Each structure stands twice: as structure tokens, then as C-alpha cells.
């Protein structure tokens, strides 16, 4: 398996995404409260926290689906706090969604072709069919993500796990610098989880694409991430290596003592399940 | 091979296109045969007009997923601006009985070609401006806003009497040449049909479908959704206005109630649903079929044909949501699918991650990404 059609980044370890004091409120509820987070080039960062801790809202603020009330977000040295989402996408920030967003009425191939951002393509070419180069790239990615035999199937006909893979492929189509993965493994069977893990690692090592991932599978986070950020009630609870986080008293309390939350959360065999 | 699998095969698709080619060829030679009387040609021209409007409606309603209930406003605007540029009034001197022709409307008394072009361009601009505002609304809210636009524009035209002639309307220089109008409409519809076929294949068209399927996702994947959908809407308005302008010229007079009649929207929606919303051939087959039904069957029930129309709409939405084309092409969509995205409902996909929905008692911030708030 090769990913040589994608353009590799040269990771320098310099800051890629820096968010400072991000705050987002919904009425009386402060979903994200004064959170600082940064991702350096080439890093895979985990973002964990109990249900309702503001992980997805933070993702939304970073990728500009939501506008944070306070704070600033810098990506590749540019302030993106008030940029339109497609502009942010053009800068090289891709994301997937907790509730899968693929175009159900389009085929797998069309879904991938569509996700190329066209940032360097002149207006005249945008009106035409995607060129051979685009299709080739989409086919390489399908091969990489085990989707080749589903090439002409409607995305709506795929299984949950296949859609997760497709969404990952869509986010990789545009040669991103950073991918925000929102629960890439939820609803995916264990063997496919291993595949997804393997693909993320390959893409990160070979292409230097950075990842920020929201995950409930602690083992997945431990295997992939070099650093973990923990959110609770919209605030940053802890940050550090996966090992140090696993032993952090406050983190364990946040997961165990989810006060009054109807869904009890248990750490079992290194895996947090709710 | 049963019927359904045959209809879904590539052979059926080829057969379908061959039949379309044959139909166009047949319509092209029709005026030269003895069936091509002026009355027949006039009826067929009106049919082509309704096909053209439906194709344009389908670009916004079917491809982009913005179901426009006020689409007749673009037809009416095209008709009115064309008329205002061309209008004349004939005055009869009561003593000498001499007729004098004066320019009316804007007082320009242009020829038809520049008037129709300027009318369509003006309408395209209006559509861009109005679309920029109304397309912030989603689903049924957009539909209602456009219905309001239709009513508002009609009343504005009625009030702006000095240039529009008010409720009485305007007269155009009479010019009757049925075969010419027929051929112009035939060429326009064929060009528009080929254009939508190409559009559906093009990257721009795929972007429109992406907006219909998931607007936030499309924006996140680098599609400038506002520019894309407003461009499509503006083109749709422009192209509808061409048919409006031609209709006004052919009709030799306009007034607000006939130019901005709601039925024109209903026909476009109904025809497109009948044929298959979101497909290339759908609005063409559907509008032609609907027009034929109206002419042949419903002409006998002058008073009650609207009842048939309403019942047909209900039956279509219930039993044939993907229309005629839905039998051939499984990739069409339905009005219910387009709107379901904006309706509070249970998650339709059983294998999606079990996420609690906001509004289920406790505020769950994890799911706000699916809400419309903060959408562009």
C-alpha cells in the first residue's frame, strides 16, 4: 500500500494550530470555557473527556463550524477565528464528524473527488469534470482505505465502519496539514479499528500529517498519541503523555464520578466505555 | 430479466436517450407536417415553456436542495422587464380616428432581442441579491420566504404604476409567428437539457449536490457554499426569465396576476416531482406528461381540474417520491429526503453512532455540530 500520490509535508515540529482562551456558550451553558490547545507539525494529539465535556464544540470552534465567543485560533500562522470554514479548509485543515457526514446520494468515488479542495485550480477548470489526476488520487486512497470494491456504490449504502473510512479518505483527499478526527472508531468493529489505527499511523509517519483526535477508546489513544488533552465541563483538566494522564487522579475522578450522569462511565481493561 | 432490473440497466438508459433524441427530431419536423397547425404549435410552445421553467426549478430545487415555492417570480420579472422595455400604447383619436403609437413602460420601445436579454440579466441579478438573503434560510423556511417574495414582487409591480402600468399591465407590439416561437423554445429547451446533463456531470454540479446532501459538510470540505448556491440560483432565475420574456412577447400583453401566477410554480414543482426531482430527464418527462394530462384530460373538467392536480400531488409524494426517473435511476432524490434534513426526526441510519440528540432533556453539547446554528 502506498500513499505516494499525496504530497508529503516536512514536519518541522513548529506550531501548526494554536488556540488561546477559546470560549463558546449556548445560552446559559458554557460548552467550552477558556481552553488553550496547540498542535505541532507531525504530532498526533488525543482529546478525551466524559460525554458533554465540550470536545466536539471545541472541534467546531477550531474548524470554524462554530464561532467562539472569546479567544483566538491560529492555523499555520494565520488567524482563522473569523474566516469562513471553506477558507480554513483551503489552508489545510480537514475534519471528520461525530455524526458521519458523507454525501449519501453520491458514489464513493464522487465523495472523494468532491473533497479535493480546488485551492490551486483555476476557475475555468473547476467547472469541468474532475481530471484524471483527481480520479487517480481518489483511487489510490480507496486502495489505501480498503474501499476499492465499493467504488461505484452509493455512500448511503455503506456500513458505519466503511463510512468512517470514507470520511477519513475525504479528509485526506485535499493534502491537509492537520486532520481533526471526531470519534473515528465509534460504531466500528474491532478489526476495522486496527486498520484505521494503522492507516492513521502510516499517514502520520509517511506524510507528516498531524492529527487531533477525539476518542473514547483509551487504548486507541495510547497507541497513537504522543500527548493527550483532557476536557471536563468545558475546561481543560489535564494535559500530558498518555501514561501520565492514565494515572492522573483528577482525570480518573472525572470519568468515575460523572456526578448524576445517567450514563455511568467505567474504565475497564484500559478501555473507557459508556 | 424483470422490468425493474431492466429499467435500471445501462441498456435502458441508452434506450431512454435514444427516445429523447427521437422525440426532439419529431418535434423539429412537426411544423412541416399537417399536424403543425398554429394552434397546435402554440400549445406545444406553452408546453416547452413549462418544461423550461421546470428544468430551471430543478437546478435550485432538485440539485441544490433549495425548494423554491416562488419560482414564478423570476418568470414574472423576466416577462415584466422585457415588457417595460418594449411596451407601446396605441391611442385612438376620437375625432380623426387616427391611431398613434407611443412608447409605454420605460419609454424605450426596444426590439425583442435586447429587451429579453436585458430582462433576463436584470432578473439574474435580482435572483442573486434575493438568493443571498433568502438562502440563509433552510428547508421549508426558504420555500416560504420565496413564496413571500413572489407575492411581494407582484404587489410592488402593481403599485409601481408609472412604469409597469399597474394592475392593467402593459401592451407589447403584436407579432404573431407561431413556428418561429416554437423553434426558439425547442432550441432553448434542448440547450437547457444538455446544459443540465453537463452540469450534473461537472464539478460545479457535484458541489450543488453536496450542498443539498450536507451543507455544513460541503463548506468544511472547501466548497464556498454561499457563492455556489447563489450562482446556481441566479442562473436559474436568469434562465427562467428568458422564458418569461419570450412568453410576454408572444402573449403581447402582461398584467401582474397572469405574469406572477402561482400556478406556474406549482406546475414546475409538480412536473419535476412527477418526472423525478434531482435528475436531468425528470423535469422534462414530468412536465411534458403533466402538460399532456392537463390538455387532454383536464380540459374536460374546466372547473375541477385543480382538484385532480392536488390529488396527483398527494399521490406522487406518497407513492412515487422519486418520480418516473426514479424507476430508471436510483440516484434521484425525493422531496421528503431533501426536507428531512431540516426536520426534527429520529436518526434514519441504524448504524450511525448512538448519539443523544440535543433537546432530549439534558443539554448535550457534543451534538451541536449537527444543528444549524453557526452554519454559514
Query: Quick check: B219 and A57 CB within 8 A?
Result: no
* A82 interfaces chain B, CB cutoff of 8 Å: no
Nearest CA of chain B to the CA of A171: how many Å? 8
pLDDT exceeds 60 at position A270? no
Query: Quick check: A170 and B221 CB within 8 A?
Result: yes
DSSP for A37-62, written as a single string: EEEETT-EEEEE-STTSSHHHHHHHH
In a domain, B363, yes or no: no
Count of the separate structural domains present in chain B: 1
* Residues of B with Cβ-Cβ distance to A160 under 8 angstroms: 349, 351-353
DSSP for B203-240, written as a single string: HHHHHHHHHHH-HHHHHHTT--HHHHHHHHHHHHHHHH
In this structure, the dihedral spanned by the alpha carbons of residues A238, A239, A242 and A246, taken in order and rounded to 10 degrees, is: -10
pLDDT exceeds 80 at position A121? no
* Residues of B with Cβ-Cβ distance to A119 under 8 angstroms: 222
Asked if B131 and B145 count as a contact pair (C-beta separation under 8 A), the reply is: no
Backbone conformation region of residue A77, classed left if phi is above 0, alpha if psi is from -120 to 50, else beta: left
Q: pLDDT by residue (tens digit) across A165-209?
A: 898 899 888 888 899 988 888 878 888 888 888 889 998 988 889
Question: For the packed helices B178-201 and B38-58, what is the interaxial angle rounded to 10 degrees?
Answer: 20
* A131 interfaces chain B, CB cutoff of 8 Å: no
Asked if B38 and B178 count as a contact pair (C-beta separation under 8 A), the reply is: yes
Residues 205-244 of A with CB under 8 A from B: 234
* A31 interfaces chain B, CB cutoff of 8 Å: yes
Nearest to B203 by CA among A193, A134, A142: A134
pLDDT computed for residue B201 by the predictor: 83
* Residues of A with Cβ-Cβ distance to B375 under 8 angstroms: 65
Q: How many CB atoms lie within 10 A of CB B62?
A: 31
* A60 interfaces chain B, CB cutoff of 8 Å: yes
Query: Quick check: A31 and B376 CB within 8 A?
Result: no
Substitution target from B335, B366, B374, B376 for chain A, most A beta carbons within 10 A: B366
Q: How far is CA B66 from each of CA A14, B156, B236, B281, B335, rounded to the nearest angstrom?
A: 44, 24, 12, 19, 10
Substitution target from B202, B221, B332 for chain A, most A beta carbons within 10 A: B221
- Global ipTM: 0.79
pLDDT exceeds 60 at position A156? yes
pLDDT exceeds 80 at position A263? no
Query: Quick check: A103 and B223 CB within 8 A?
Result: no
Query: Quick check: A127 and B203 CB within 8 A?
Result: yes
Nearest CA of chain B to the CA of A261: how many Å? 10
In a domain, B144, yes or no: yes
Nearest CA of chain B to the CA of A244: how many Å? 26
Nearest CA of chain A to the CA of B124: how many Å? 19
The span from the CA of B376 to the CA of B223, in Å, is 12
In a domain, B204, yes or no: yes
Backbone angles phi, psi at B215, to 5 degrees: -70, -40
Query: Quick check: B367 and A174 CB within 8 A?
Result: no
Pick B220's closest partner by Cβ from A31, A63, A187: A63
pLDDT computed for residue A11 by the predictor: 55
Considering the domain A15-106+176-273 in this protein, what is its CATH number?
Answer: 3.40.50.300
Nearest CA of chain A to the CA of B9: how many Å? 14
Asked if B215 and B374 count as a contact pair (C-beta separation under 8 A), the reply is: no
Q: How many CB pairs under 8 A join A and B?
A: 150
Query: Quick check: A98 and B202 CB within 8 A?
Result: no
In a domain, B87, yes or no: yes
Q: pLDDT by residue (tens digit) across A230-241?
A: 888 888 888 888
pLDDT computed for residue A1 by the predictor: 43
pLDDT exceeds 70 at position A265? no
Query: Quick check: A65 and B214 CB within 8 A?
Result: no
Nearest CA of chain A to the CA of B367: how many Å? 7
* Residues of B with Cβ-Cβ distance to A159 under 8 angstroms: 351
In a domain, B58, yes or no: yes
Which residues have C-beta within 8 Å of that of residue A30, sequence separation ≥ 6?
A23, A24, A234
- For residue B195, the enclosing domain spans 39-343
Pick B365's closest partner by Cβ from A31, A100, A102: A31
* Residues of A with Cβ-Cβ distance to B210 under 8 angstroms: 103, 106, 114
Q: pLDDT by residue (tens digit) across B30-58?
A: 888 877 788 889 989 999 999 999 999 99
Average model confidence (pLDDT) across chain A: 81
Pick A97's closest partner by Cβ from B201, B209, B369: B369
DSSP-derived 3-state class of residue B160: coil
Query: Quick check: A84 and B366 CB within 8 A?
Result: no
Query: Quick check: A110 and B206 CB within 8 A?
Result: yes
Substitution target from B200, B204, B217 for chain A, most A beta carbons within 10 A: B217
In a domain, B280, yes or no: yes
Pick B206's closest partner by Cβ from A63, A94, A114: A114
Q: How far is CA B82 from each of CA A169, B103, B257, B314, rounded to the nearest angstrom?
A: 50, 13, 16, 36
In a domain, B232, yes or no: yes
Q: pLDDT by residue (tens digit) across A15-41?
A: 889 989 899 988 888 888 889 998 998
In a domain, B375, yes or no: no
User: What stretches in chain B show pLDDT beneath 70?
Assistant: 1-5, 7-8, 328-332, 343-376
Nearest CA of chain A to the CA of B255: how many Å? 39
Model-level pTM?
0.83
Which residues have C-beta within 8 Å of that of residue B168, sequence separation ≥ 6?
B255
List the single residue in B with minimal CA-CA distance to A125.
B203
Query: Which helix H or strand E contains A235, and what residues bound it?
Result: strand A235-240
The span from the CA of A237 to the CA of B132, in Å, is 43
Asked if A234 and A242 count as a contact pair (C-beta separation under 8 A), the reply is: no
pLDDT, mean of residues A101-106: 83
Query: Quick check: B366 and A51 CB within 8 A?
Result: yes
Pick A86's closest partner by Cβ from B224, B331, B354: B224
Query: Quick check: A127 and B220 CB within 8 A?
Result: no
pLDDT computed for residue B362 by the predictor: 38
Amino acid at each position: 500500500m502506498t500513499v505516494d500520490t499525496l504530497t508529503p509535508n516536512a514536519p518541522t515540529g513548529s506550531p501548526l494550530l494554536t488556540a488561546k482562551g477559546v470560549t463558546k456558550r449556548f445560552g446559559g451553558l458554557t460548552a467550552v470555557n477558556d481552553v488553550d490547545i496547540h498542535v505541532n507539525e507531525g504530532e498526533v494529539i488525543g482529546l478525551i473527556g466524559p460525554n458533554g465535556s465540550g470536545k466536539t464544540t471545541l472541534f467546531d470552534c477550531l474548524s470554524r463550524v462554530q464561532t467562539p465567543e472569546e479567544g483566538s485560533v491560529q492555523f499555520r500562522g494565520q488567524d482563522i477565528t473569523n474566516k469562513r470554514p471553506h477558507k480554513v479548509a483551503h489552508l489545510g485543515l480537514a475534519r471528520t464528524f461525530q455524526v458521519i457526514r458523507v454525501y449519501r446520494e453520491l458514489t464513493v468515488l464522487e465523495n472523494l473527488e468532491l473533497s479535493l479542495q480546488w485551492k490551486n485550480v483555476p476557475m475555468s477548470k473547476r467547472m469541468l469534470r474532475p481530471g484524471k489526476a483527481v480520479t487517480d488520487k481518489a483511487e489510490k486512497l480507496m486502495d489505501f482505505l480498503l474501499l476499492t470494491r465499493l467504488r461505484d456504490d452509493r455512500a448511503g449504502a455503506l456500513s458505519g465502519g466503511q463510512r468512517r473510512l470514507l470520511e477519513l479518505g475525504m479528509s485526506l483527499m485535499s493534502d491537509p496539514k492537520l486532520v481533526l478526527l471526531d470519534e473515528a472508531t465509534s460504531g466500528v468493529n474491532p478489526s476495522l479499528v486496527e486498520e484505521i489505527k494503522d492507516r492513521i499511523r502510516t499517514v502520520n509517519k509517511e506524510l507528516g500529517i498531524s492529527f487531533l483526535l477525539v476518542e473514547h477508546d483509551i487504548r486507541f489513544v495510547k497507541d497513537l498519541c504522543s500527548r493527550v488533552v483532557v476536557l471536563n465541563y468545558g475546561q481543560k483538566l489535564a494535559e500530558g503523555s498518555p501514561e501520565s494522564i492514565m494515572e492522573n487522579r483528577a482525570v480518573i475522578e472525572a470519568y468515575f464520578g460523572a456526578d448524576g450522569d445517567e450514563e455511568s462511565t467505567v474504565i475497564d481493561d484500559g478501555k473507557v466505555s459508556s | 430479466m424483470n422490468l425493474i432490473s431492466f429499467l435500471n440497466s445501462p441498456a435502458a438508459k441508452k434506450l431512454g436517450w435514444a427516445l429523447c433524441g427521437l422525440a426532439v427530431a419529431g418535434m423539429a419536423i412537426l411544423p412541416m407536417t399537417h399536424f403543425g397547425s398554429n394552434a397546435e404549435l402554440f400549445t406545444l410552445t406553452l408546453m416547452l415553456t413549462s418544461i423550461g421553467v421546470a428544468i430551471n426549478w430543478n437546478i435550485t430545487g432538485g440539485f441544490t436542495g433549495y425548494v423554491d415555492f416562488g419560482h414564478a417570480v423570476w418568470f414574472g420579472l423576466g416577462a415584466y422587464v422585457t415588457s417595460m422595455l418594449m411596451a407601446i400604447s396605441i391611442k385612438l383619436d376620437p375625432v380623426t380616428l387616427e391611431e398613434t403609437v407611443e412608447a409605454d413602460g420605460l419609454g424605450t420601445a426596444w426590439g425583442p432581442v435586447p429587451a429579453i436579454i436585458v430582462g433576463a440579466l436584470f432578473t439574474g441579478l435580482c435572483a442573486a441579491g434575493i438568493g443571498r438573503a433568502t438562502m440563509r434560510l433552510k428547508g421549508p423556511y426558504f420555500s416560504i420566504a420565496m413564496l413571500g417574495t413572489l407575492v411581494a414582487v407582484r404587489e410592488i409591480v402593481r403599485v409601481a404604476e408609472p412604469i409597469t402600468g399597474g394592475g392593467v399591465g402593459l401592451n407589447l407590439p403584436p407579432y404573431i409567428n407561431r413556428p418561429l416561437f416554437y423553434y426558439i423554445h425547442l432550441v432553448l429547451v434542448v440547450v437547457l437539457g444538455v446544459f443540465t446533463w453537463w452540469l450534473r456531470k461537472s464539478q460545479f454540479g457535484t458541489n450543488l449536490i453536496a450542498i443539498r446532501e450536507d451543507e455544513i459538510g460541503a463548506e468544511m470540505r472547501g466548497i464556498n457554499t454561499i457563492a455556489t448556491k447563489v450562482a446556481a440560483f441566479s442562473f436559474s432565475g436568469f434562465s427562467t426569465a428568458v422564458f418569461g420574456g419570450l412568453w410576454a412577447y408572444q402573449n403581447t400583453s402582461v398584467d401582474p396576476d397572469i405574469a406572477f401566477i402561482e400556478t406556474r410554480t406549482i406546475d414546475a414543482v409538480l412536473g419535476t416531482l412527477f418526472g423525478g426531482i434531482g435528475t436531468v430527464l425528470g423535469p422534462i418527462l414530468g412536465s411534458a406528461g403533466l402538460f399532456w394530462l392537463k390538455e387532454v384530460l383536464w380540459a374536460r373538467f374546466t372547473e375541477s381540474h385543480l382538484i385532480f392536480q392536488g390529488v396527483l400531488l398527494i399521490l406522487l409524494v406518497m407513492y412515487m417520491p422519486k418520480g418516473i426517473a426514479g424507476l430508471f435511476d436510483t440516484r434521484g432524490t425525493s422531496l421528503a429526503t431533501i426536507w428531512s434534513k431540516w426536520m426534527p426526526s429520529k436518526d434514519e441510519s441504524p448504524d450511525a453512532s448512538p448519539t443523544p440528540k440535543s433537546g432530549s432533556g439534558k443539554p448535550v453539547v457534543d451534538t451541536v455540530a449537527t444543528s444549524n446554528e453557526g452554519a454559514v
